[in-house]
């Protein structure tokens, strides 16, 4: 399923001092642009980019070393006052260091900024004043964080500076009372957005003679897994655990984006950074989501997985599964039958359930490949 892009704006309150540091750039169709005076915003960006893949840029004032909090916040309040008095005049906005951003590269833009005196921080307002036109047509999500102040004026600032943005229905408000729940708040809120999914590939899962497909989510783990699978398929030995899952070592570690999850049959997750789990039952634990197997019921999946250990091969194409490596044609080493006298479900070679067979069609039933001659 494809989703539409969105622009995510985080507005966060600065509370404590921290030295500036360079945030590592990541690849993707998402841009995170943030301003952080005390380091609190940077910590939110750190958590956000554990959960999504993104490029990151930092907004910095042109004049370094300003102490906005000195003399009863005289500098900071003066900057906000100047913008309030004449918001359409470029001279009202404090200068920031230049940035060269190609907004056409991005489907999603994340902007993170502190809240100052009920408004958006002045340096971030400058960034949006200078670049708001480049964000035309983007879907906009808003996260506002403050110590306790209300967020209405910050929302108004965002809508004024990005007049042609398509804002999401509900902003997420992070404040001092819920800040310790920030990873879960971010995770749950991201799921409600029409987020542009960067993960276009299907995951092919071969178990014995059966190949299933799965739709992957888009996060740092699946990005790394897809990169590895583009080099070669990965096979591993999976064992039963708890009468609800097949789990096995991936043979490498992937970056994690763990969250408390209640799984269902067909869910695929990463456990402990290096083990792949396929669920044929349900369990609640902290996992990194990988995806979900397409078009298979719980009983069908249990039959395909079988009892005891099994070898599972992961690939990005059916041609690269273990049985077909070096051969682009499906294996012809299959039993042929003229009449199908079984009522068990049938699947094509991509793991999709089929109700009507065509003459000469190869299909999978009861874990075996068959050829329909009727």
Domain boundary at 172, 191, 210, which?
191
Mean pLDDT value across residues 143-169? 86
pLDDT digits (tens, 9 = 90+) for 225-273: 988 898 889 999 999 999 999 999 999 999 998 988 899 999 999 999 9
Using DSSP's 3-state secondary structure scheme, residue 276 falls into strand
pLDDT of residue 193: 67
pLDDT given at position 28 = 41
Smallest CA-to-CA distance from 23 within 110, 130, 94 is with 110
Answer yes or no: do 285 and 313 share one domain.
Answer: yes
- Residue 66 CB-density burial (10 A; 0-12 exposed, 13-18 middle, 19+ buried): middle
Show the beta-strand stretches assigned E in 263-335. 267-271, 275-279, 284-293, 310-315
Give the CATH number for residue 105.
Answer: 3.40.50.360
CA distances for 224 relative to 36, 161, 270, 289, angstroms: 29, 36, 12, 13
Cα diameter, the chain:
90
Domain assignment present for 2 = no
Q: Is residue 330 part of a domain?
A: no
Does one domain contain both 155 and 15? Answer: yes
pTM: 0.55
Radius of gyration of the chain, Cα coordinates, nearest whole angstrom? 26
Residue 62, pLDDT > 90, answer: yes
- Is 329 domain-assigned? no
Instruction: Tell me, yes or no, whether 62 and 110 share the same domain.
Output: yes
CA distance linking residue 140 with residue 32, whole number of Å: 13
Q: Are residues 161 and 294 in the same domain?
A: no
When mean pLDDT is compared over 61-65, 193-197, 343-347, the highest value belongs to: 61-65
Q: How confident is the model at residue 331 (pLDDT cuts 50, 70, 90)?
A: very low
The C-alpha atoms of residue 374 and residue 368 are separated, in whole angstroms, by 18
CA-nearest of 300, 302, 276 to 290 is: 276
Cα-based angle 152, 156, 158 (whole degrees, multiple of 5): 120
pLDDT at 65 > cutoff 80:
yes
Q: Return the top range by mean pLDDT from 12-16, 86-90, 355-359.
A: 86-90
Is residue 301 pLDDT above 60, yes or no?
yes
Mean pLDDT value across residues 143-167 = 87
Q: Are residues 247 and 351 in the same domain?
A: no
If asked whether residues 349 and 309 sit together in one domain, one would say no
Domain assignment of residue 196, yes or no: no
Taking residues 304-313, report their average pLDDT: 94
Mean model confidence pLDDT for the chain: 79
pLDDT recorded at residue 9:
44
Q: What is the pLDDT of residues 3-13, one digit of tens each?
A: 334 444 444 44
Lowest mean pLDDT among 21-30, 80-89, 159-168: 21-30
Q: Are residues 96 and 181 in the same domain?
A: yes
Q: What pLDDT does residue 22 have? A: 29
Cα 311–chain centre separation: 28
Is residue 213 a contact partner of residue 201, using CB atoms and an 8 Å limit?
no
Same domain (yes/no): 266, 348: no
Number of domains observed in the structure of the chain: 3
Q: What is the DSSP letter of 280?
A: S
Rounded CA-CA distance 310/292 in Å is 19
Flag whether 331 is in a domain: no
Residues whose CB is less than 8 angstroms from the CB of residue 123 and which lie 6 or more positions away in sequence, other chains included: 35, 59, 60, 61, 94, 96, 113
164 and 223 together in one domain: no
User: Which of 146 and 311 is assigned the larger pLDDT?
Assistant: 311
Band of the pLDDT at 274, cuts 50, 70, 90? very high
Are 30 and 111 found together in one domain?
A: yes
Residue 252 shares a structural domain with residue 358: no
Q: Which domain holds residue 362?
A: 336-372
Beta carbons of 9 and 33 less than 8 angstroms apart:
no
């Amino acid at each position: 399923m494809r989703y539409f892009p969105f622009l995510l704006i985080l507005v966060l309150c600065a509370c404590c001092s921290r030295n500036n540091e360079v945030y590592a750039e990541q690849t993707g169709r998402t841009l995170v642009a943030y301003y952080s005076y005390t380091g609190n915003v940077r910590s939110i960006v750190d958590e956000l980019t554990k959960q999504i893949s993104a490029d990151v840029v930092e907004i910095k004032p042109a004049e370094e070393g300003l102490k906005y909090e000195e003399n009863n916040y005289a500098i900071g309040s003066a900057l906000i006052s100047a913008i309030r008095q004449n918001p359409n005049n470029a001279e009202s906005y404090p200068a920031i260091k230049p940035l060269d951003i190609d907004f056409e590269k991005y489907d999603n833009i994340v902007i993170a900024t502190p809240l100052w005196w009920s408004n958006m921080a002045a340096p971030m307002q400058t960034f949006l004043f200078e670049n708001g036109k480049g964000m035309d047509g983007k879907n906009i999500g808003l996260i506002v964080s403050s110590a306790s102040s209300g967020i209405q004026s910050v929302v108004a600032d965002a809508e004024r500076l990005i007049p042609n943005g398509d804002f999401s229905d509900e902003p997420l408000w992070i404040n001092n009372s819920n800040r310790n729940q920030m990873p879960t708040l971010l995770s749950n809120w991201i799921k409600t957005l029409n987020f542009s999914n960067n993960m276009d590939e299907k995951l092919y899962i071969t178990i014995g003679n059966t190949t299933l497909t799965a739709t992957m989510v888009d996060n740092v783990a699946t990005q790394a897994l897809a990169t590895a699978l583009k080099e070669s398929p990965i096979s591993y030995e999976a064992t039963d655990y708890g009468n609800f899952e097949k789990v096995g070592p991936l043979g490498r570690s992937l970056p994690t984006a763990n969250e408390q999850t209640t799984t269902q049959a067909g869910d695929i997750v990463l456990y402990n950074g290096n083990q792949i789990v396929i669920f044929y039952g349900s369990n609640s634990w902290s996992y990194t989501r990988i995806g979900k197997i397409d078009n298979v019921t719980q009983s069908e999946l249990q039959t395909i997985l079988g009892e005891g250990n099994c070898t599972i091969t992961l690939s990005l194409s059916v041609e690269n599964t273990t049985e077909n490596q070096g051969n682009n044609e499906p294996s012809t080493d299959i039993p042929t039958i003229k009449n199908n006298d079984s009522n068990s479900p049938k699947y094509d070679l991509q793991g999709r359930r089929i109700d009507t067979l065509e003459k000469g069609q190869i299909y999978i039933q009861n874990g075996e490949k068959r050829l329909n001659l009727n």
